């Protein structure tokens, strides 16, 4: 039967109102959530950039006072007419500039004329130029700490100047200036949607990843400030144009630097929040429409079911009438038969529903266990990758390219290890069985120790190893063995985090008639009776939910039993936990590439 047109409009209005009621709070909470996530991410990025900026400036602030004591530089000022003294000073400044990475280092006479400079042999040399008009010169000759940001009048490059007076007792010999190039600080930002902004005490943008914003004023300059700009020439323009940034289009976060008077800001396009919010709304709306459609289908099915029951009941009544007309003797038997058929139909329906619920519960349990296992096994390599990446960034800032390349190689190895772990979990989910192989124990221990090395050093945990020099061969898979050792070391570090220093971990291995025994001991709180009773059970943990899922020991126990070994848990007589791995002996030789790694 066709639904009348007015009813259709009522259904459409009801659906629209229901979507509005559901999507409005969803939009509110999604926008607040993604805005908070973006703010936390921007705060970390801002802190990192500020640390790099301040680190660059602090590296040079003590250089002028130290260089002002060099005899060769003092000699160039005391003997201003000596060509040899000036050449010696030029060579020395060029050498120091090469070693320190400064942009330019130059020496000025008391009248502001440059006597010697590190760029003495360049076309834009400072030698012979007078910079007495610069604020850093005026402050230095007065004995004040001299700092100044400005655009080089010769090089036309932005820089930060540190200056210090050079005196012989009460007599002013000159001023020594170190210029630090700040142009590379913008290049650190890279090509990202977020934009960097650094404004000085006048509110003028001096550094920015957005070229159009550079040397624009975030607030109007007072007449006094304009006169100061005209006198000191810190910018390429005397009257900076206003900076116009729409608050509707950008989300900003700022931090002031008291030691320089600057303000560092990061601007993120509002679209970074709008896009995920729209995705959430689309998913939410689609989910609601699907639920409404499901309810409508269920309602139609129910109506058809009721109609069918009504027809069946009518047919039954007619049959009963015919049966009653034919014979009264079969009335009781017919009634009992109808009741039995009805009961069996209900029992069959309940059985089918129960079976469907059991199957669904089994699927959800398997999905939850697999998701938790993947999360647990990948957290450790991910943490190590992040640590290596942060170290590589710092090493690159210090031009330690070989060390940074080593960190990147470690990251590559960890990603291969993560792929191997995922391949192993996929094989485990498919129920695949692989025979153990001959594996050397010491390299697997070294790999697991490297995975947690940064965390162990950060916690000041002392590692005591008592391992034989000759390789100990066991029957295992390299990936699974590294997985077991990394889990056990991570658990030991978790236990030691609750203990005050000193913190220690002991690793011992020995050959026994039955195989190889590896013992791992710490001086932490040890296992409680409850932990010893339930430690091998999945999702049992004594940690907070933020620190553990309770899968580490369960996974280790399962993997060891699959390899023919066993895991023994206990407490050491001197205190702390004692975990022993009993592995089957292997045949000495070259360890082949594990099958799980080949498949990965």
Residue 280 falls inside a structural domain: no
Where is 496: in which H helix or E strand? helix 478-496
Do 459 and 588 lie in a common domain?
Answer: yes
Q: Is residue 363 pLDDT above 60, yes or no?
A: no
Judge if 160 and 190 occupy the same domain.
no
User: Tens digits of per-residue pLDDT, 537-569?
Assistant: 766 676 654 455 556 777 787 878 877 888 888
The candidate with the shortest Cα–Cα distance to 594, out of 472, 450, 451, 440, is 440
Q: 166 and 70 in one domain?
A: yes
Q: How confident is the model at residue 512 (pLDDT cuts 50, 70, 90)?
A: confident
DSSP per-residue letters across 54-74? HHHHHTTTTHHHHHTT-HHHH
- Is residue 29 domain-resident? no
Residues 6+ apart with CB under 8 A from 378: 418, 421, 422
Residue 256: partners with Cβ closer than 8 Å, 6 or more residues away: 262, 263, 264
In a domain, 548, yes or no: yes
Residue 43: HSE in the Cβ half-sphere, 13 Å Cα cutoff = 6
Q: Residue 494 in contact with residue 548, Cβ under 8 Å?
A: yes
122 and 245 fall within a common domain? no
CA–CA separation, 208 and 472 (whole Å):
58
CA geometry: angle 214, 220, 226, nearest 5 deg = 85
Do you find a cis peptide bond into 502, omega within 30 degrees of 0? Answer: yes
Q: SS3 for 525?
A: coil
Residues 481 and 585 in one domain: yes
Which neighbouring-strand residues pair with 197? 208, 265
Closest residue by Cα to residue 522 from 466, 578, 471 = 578
What SS3 string covers 353-384? HHHHHHHHHHHHHHHHHHHHHHHHHHHHHHHH
Query: 2 pLDDT exceeds 60?
Result: no
Please, which pLDDT band fits residue 383 given cuts at 50, 70 and 90? Answer: confident
At 188 the pLDDT is 66
pLDDT at position 89 is: 92
Token pair recorded at residue 371: 């998701």
Residues in contact with 320: Cβ distance below 8 Å, sequence separation at least 6, in sequence order: 334
pLDDT of 239 > 70? The answer is yes
Note whether residue 126 is domain-resident: yes
Beta strands across the sheet bearing 262-269 = 205-208, 195-199, 262-269, 250-257
Q: pLDDT tens digits, residue range 384-423?
A: 888 888 888 888 888 888 888 888 888 888 887 777 666 6
Query: Residue 476: inside a domain, yes or no?
Result: yes
Cα–Cα distance for residue pair 538/376, rounded to 1 Å: 12
* Of 127, 162, 181, the domain-final residue: 181
Helices (H), 233-330: 271-326
Q: How many domains does the chain have?
A: 3
Distance CA(46)–CA(56), nearest Å, equals 15
**Highest mean pLDDT pick, 302-311, 341-350, 410-419:** 302-311
Percent of the chain with pLDDT over 70: 86
On the question of pLDDT at 513 being above 50, the answer is yes
Same domain, 448 and 573: yes
Q: Does residue 350 sit within a domain? A: no
- The CA distance from 406 to 420, in Å, is 21
- Same domain (yes/no): 204, 144: no
**DSSP assignment string, 182-207:** -HHHHHTT-S-SSEEEEE-TTSBEEE
Shared domain check, 189 and 143: no
- Radius of gyration, CA atoms only, the chain: 38
pLDDT category of residue 435 using cuts at 50, 70 and 90: low
Q: State whether the Cα torsion 57-178-147-133 is positive or negative.
A: negative
- Express each pLDDT in 251-260 by its tens digit: 888 888 888 8
Gap between the Cα atoms of 189 and 202, Å rounded: 23
Residue-level pLDDT at 1:
47
pLDDT at 432 (0 to 100) = 44
Supply the CATH number for residue 107's domain. 3.30.450.20
Asked, for residue 313, whether it belongs to a domain, the answer is no
Same structural domain, 115 and 211:
no
What average pLDDT is seen over the chain? Answer: 80
Provide the domain limits for residue 257.
185-269
**455 & 511 share domain:** yes
Helix (H, G, I), strand (E, B), or coil: what is residue 133? Answer: coil
Is 155's pLDDT higher than 50? yes
For 349-357, what is the mean pLDDT? 66
- Please give the pLDDT value at position 162: 93
The rounded percent of the chain whose pLDDT value lies above 90 is 8
For the CA atoms of 590, 596, 598, 600, what is the dihedral angle to 10 degrees? Answer: -150
Read off the pLDDT of residues 67-116 as tens digits, 9 standing for 90 and up. Answer: 888 999 999 888 888 899 999 999 999 999 999 889 899 999 999 999 99
Say whether 463 sits in a helix, a strand or coil.
strand
Task: Answer for the pair 31, 273: CB distance below 8 angstroms, yes or no.
Answer: yes
Last residue of a domain, one of 163, 181, 199: 181
Specify the residue for token string 């259709």.
8
Structure confidence at residue 562 (pLDDT): 79
- CATH number, domain of 490, equals 3.30.565.10
Q: Cβ atoms within 10 A of the Cβ of 281, count? A: 18
pLDDT score, position 485: 85
CA–CA distance, 600 with 597 (Å, rounded to integer): 5
| Burial call 520-536: b when 16+ CB within 10 Å, e when fewer | bbbbbebbeeebeebbb
* 8 A C-beta contact, residue 516 and residue 474: yes
Residues 6+ apart with CB under 8 A from 79: 85
Claim to verify: residue 462 and residue 577 sit in the same structural domain: yes
| Ramachandran area for residue 563 (φ above 0: left; ψ -120 to 50: alpha; else beta) | alpha
Which 8-state DSSP code applies to residue 564?
A: T
In angstroms, rounded to a whole number, what is the distance separating the alpha carbons of residues 60 and 112? 22
- The answer as to whether 54 is a domain residue is no
In angstroms, rounded to a whole number, what is the distance separating the alpha carbons of residues 441 and 346? 61
Biggest CA-to-CA distance, the chain: 143
Give the domain-ending residue among 269, 285, 315: 269
**Are residue 142 and residue 219 in the same domain, yes or no?**
no
- Can you tell me which residue has the tokens 């089957």? 584
How far lies 371's CA from each of 60, 192, 270, in Å?
50, 32, 33
Q: Give the pLDDT of residue 506.
A: 92
Going by pLDDT thresholds of 50, 70 and 90, the confidence category of residue 369 is very low
Residue 428 has pLDDT above 50, yes or no: no
Q: Poorest-confidence range of 239-243, 582-586, 595-599? A: 595-599
């Amino acid at each position: 039967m066709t639904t009348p047109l007015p009813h259709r409009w009522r259904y459409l209005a009801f659906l629209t109102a229901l979507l509005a009621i559901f999507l409005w709070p969803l939009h509110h909470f999604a926008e607040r959530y993604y805005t908070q996530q973006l703010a936390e991410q921007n705060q970390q990025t801002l802190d990192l950039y500020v640390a790099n900026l301040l680190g660059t400036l602090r590296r040079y602030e003590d250089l002028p006072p130290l260089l002002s004591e060099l005899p060769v530089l003092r000699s160039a000022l005391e003997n201003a007419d000596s060509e040899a003294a000036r050449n010696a000073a030029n060579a020395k400044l060029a050498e120091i500039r090469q070693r320190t990475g400064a942009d330019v280092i130059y020496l000025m006479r008391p009248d502001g004329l440059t006597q010697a400079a590190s760029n003495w042999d360049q076309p834009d040399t400072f030698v012979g130029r007078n910079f007495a008009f610069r604020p850093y010169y005026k402050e230095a000759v007065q004995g004040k700490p001299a700092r100044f940001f400005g655009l080089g009048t010769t090089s036309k490059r932005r820089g930060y100047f540190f200056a210090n007076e050079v005196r012989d007792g009460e007599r002013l010999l000159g001023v020594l200036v170190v210029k630090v190039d700040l142009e590379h600080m913008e290049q650190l930002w890279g090509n990202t949607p977020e934009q960097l902004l650094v404004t000085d005490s006048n509110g003028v943008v001096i550094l920015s990843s957005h070229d159009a914003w550079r040397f624009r004023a975030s607030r109007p300059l007072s007449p006094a400030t304009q006169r100061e700009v005209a006198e000191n020439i810190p910018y390429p323009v005397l009257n900076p144009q206003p900076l116009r940034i729409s608050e509707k289009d950008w989300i900003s976060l700022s931090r002031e630097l008291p030691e320089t008077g600057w303000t560092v800001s990061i601007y993120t396009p509002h679209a970074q929040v709008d896009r995920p919010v729209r995705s959430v709304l689309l998913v939410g709306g689609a989910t609601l429409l699907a639920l409404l459609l499901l309810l409508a289908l269920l309602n139609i099915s129910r109506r058809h079911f009721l109609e069918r029951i009504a027809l069946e009941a009518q047919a039954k009544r007619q049959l009963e009438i015919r049966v009653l007309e034919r014979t009264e003797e079969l009335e009781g038997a017919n009634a009992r038969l109808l009741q039995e058929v009805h009961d069996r139909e209900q029992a069959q329906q309940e059985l089918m529903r129960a079976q469907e619920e059991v199957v669904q519960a089994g699927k959800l349990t398997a999905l939850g266990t697999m998701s938790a296992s993947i999360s647990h096994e990948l957290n450790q390599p991910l943490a190590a990758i992040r640590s290596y990446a942060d170290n590589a960034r710092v090493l690159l800032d210090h031009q330690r390219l070989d060390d940074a390349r080593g960190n990147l190689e470690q990251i590559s190895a960890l990603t291969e290890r993560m792929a191997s772990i995922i391949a192993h979990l996929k094989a485990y989910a498919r129920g695949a069985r692989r025979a153990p192989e001959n594996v050397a124990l010491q390299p697997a221990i070294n790999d697991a120790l490297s995975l947690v090395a940064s965390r162990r050093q950060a916690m000041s945990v002392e590692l005591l190893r008592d391992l034989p020099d000759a390789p100990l061969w066991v029957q295992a898979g390299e990936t699974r063995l590294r997985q077991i050792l990394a889990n056990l070391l991570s658990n030991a570090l978790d236990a030691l985090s609750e203990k005050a220093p000193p913190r220690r971990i002991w690793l011992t291995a020995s050959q026994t008639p039955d195989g190889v025994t590896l013992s791992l001991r710490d001086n932490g709180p040890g296992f409680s009776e409850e932990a010893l009773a339930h430690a091998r059970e999945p999702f049992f943990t004594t940690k907070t939910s933020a620190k553990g899922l309770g899968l580490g020991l369960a996974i280790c126990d399962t993997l060891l039993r699959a390899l023919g070994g066993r895991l023994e848990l206990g407490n050491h007589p001197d205190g702390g936990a004692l975990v022993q791995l009993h592995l089957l002996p292997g045949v000495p030789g070259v360890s082949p590439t594990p099958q799980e790694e080949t498949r990965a």
